[in-house]
Amino acid sequence: MTMIERFEDIEAWQKARELSKAIYMVTCDGAFARDFGLRDQIRRAGVSVMSNIAEGFDRGGNRELIQFLYFAKGSAAELQTQLYIALDIGYISQDQFQQLYDLAGTTGRLIGGFIRYLKTCNAKPATRNPQPKSK
């Protein structure tokens, strides 16, 4: 695995960024844009995915990183549920639903893979604020 020096290096964060952008694009038009409750909730879920990855990474330890990765994974599933609502009430088409649902699923799987890697390899990704080593 490539050395991760910044949260931006994490593939799951990159995919979460793509997901957030896609969610913002689909929620800025039509009836979806006027449904402030659902629009804001689905946007928050999308932003939460990438934010939790970044926050966990910068906490400085694998245990906290894994905890925040689970939060991010949960937010991806929350977003998928909200997509069903948007589909059911006609805010998005079946094609839009499938594209966004799949993107959220891919993001969640990448997060899950990263969690498994961190647990099994006891890997220690670099952080911005590494702790000094004891002598």
pLDDT score for 3:
84
pLDDT score for 124:
57
Superfamily in which the 7-121 domain is placed by CATH: 23S rRNA-intervening sequence (1.20.1440.60)
pLDDT score for 132:
46
pLDDT score for 88:
98
The ranges assigned to domains in the chain are: 7-121
Length of the chain, in residues: 135
pLDDT score for 122:
65
Contact in structure between 39 and 79 (CB atoms under 8 Å):
no
**Which of 47, 135, 117, 29 is CA-nearest to residue 125?**
117
* DSSP H or E stretch at residue 70: helix 62-88
71 in helix, strand or coil? helix
**pLDDT tens for each residue of the chain, 135 residues long:** 578 899 999 999 999 999 999 999 999 999 999 999 999 999 999 999 999 999 999 997 899 999 999 999 999 999 999 999 999 999 999 999 999 999 999 999 999 999 999 998 765 555 545 554 454
| 102 half-sphere exposure, CB direction, 13 A CA radius | 6
Chain centroid offset of residue 93 CA: 23
pLDDT score for 123:
56
pLDDT score for 135:
45
pLDDT score for 56:
96
pLDDT score for 60:
78
Give the C-alpha separation, 132 to 118, whole Å: 21
pLDDT score for 117:
94
